[in-house]
Amino acid sequence: MDTTVELEQRPSNVVAKLDAACAAAADLARAAAVEASEQEVGEYLGADAVADRIVTHRFAASVPGYTGWHWSVTVARASRSKVITIDEVLLLPGTDALLAPAWVPWNERVRPGDLSPGDLIPADPNDPRLAPAYTLSDDPAVEAVAAELGVGRVHVMSREGRLDTAERWQLGETGPDTAMARHAPAHCGTCGFYLPLAGSLAAAFGACANSIANSDGRIVSVEHGCGAHSELVIEVASLSEPVGEIYEDEQFV
């Protein structure tokens, strides 16, 4: 014998009718809110029909730190019953409520410069910037060194990772589109203090080794530049050159 009971589904565009008995149970709902909050609740804000014989009553909340929140008390009754029961009591935010910021996972909150001595920030196992070493790095220079030394790494930078790095460096403070680079007498690529990187990034980036340059010890674009270029020559007028005819004081005596 099939005992399955199918519940009649209400069309989504049909609004539930406000049950008169449940709507009249505002005092019962207030008492439930007071019991839950352990203090007096604010003014009555109204009632809304949730479904047949189910109504939610709303009361202003006076809980410290919960500005704009309200108590939501849902009451219900069974079919052909006059007994009203409490379904649930909730403290809910209103449209102007003060809410905490949305939670963000730690690996999305961390930004460059956040790492302090002793901090540990593991790489994401699915980081697209990394590739397993057994797939090779598709960078001949990396593979040549690994083969020569007989060593290898668990992960190496993927092509996507290198392209992402190159774009970040090119658009950063040591790229070509900065005030320092625009006012430089020449590019880093022609500077004697420029140390090119190895591998596929060698043609575009290197390290600055000029101790008086702002970028000393940093990766710079080959198109970057500064006023400390190794080939810079400044012509200074000699102060020993006469600026005009010289007269002795005795000539005017």
- Could you tell me the two tokens for 86? 């409490």
pLDDT tens digits for range 19-32? 888 888 899 999 99
More confident residue, 122 or 206: 206
Q: Which architecture characterizes domain 20-93 according to CATH?
A: Roll (3.10)
- Could you tell me the two tokens for 193? 């203090």
Q: What predicted TM-score, i.e. pTM, was given to this entire model?
A: 0.50
pLDDT tens digits for range 136-181? 556 666 666 665 554 567 788 888 999 999 999 999 999 999 999 9
Q: Could you tell me if residue 132 is left (phi over 0), alpha (psi between -120 and 50 degrees) or otherwise beta?
A: beta
- Could you tell me the two tokens for 94? 């209103």
Domain ranges across the chain? 20-93
Coil/strand/helix, residue 139: coil
pLDDT tens digits for range 217-234? 999 999 999 999 999 877
**Quick check: 53 pLDDT over 70?**
yes
Query: Which pLDDT does position 142 carry in this prediction?
Result: 64
Sign of the alpha-carbon dihedral angle for 47, 49, 55, 60: negative
Query: Which residues face 207 on adjacent strands?
Result: 195, 219
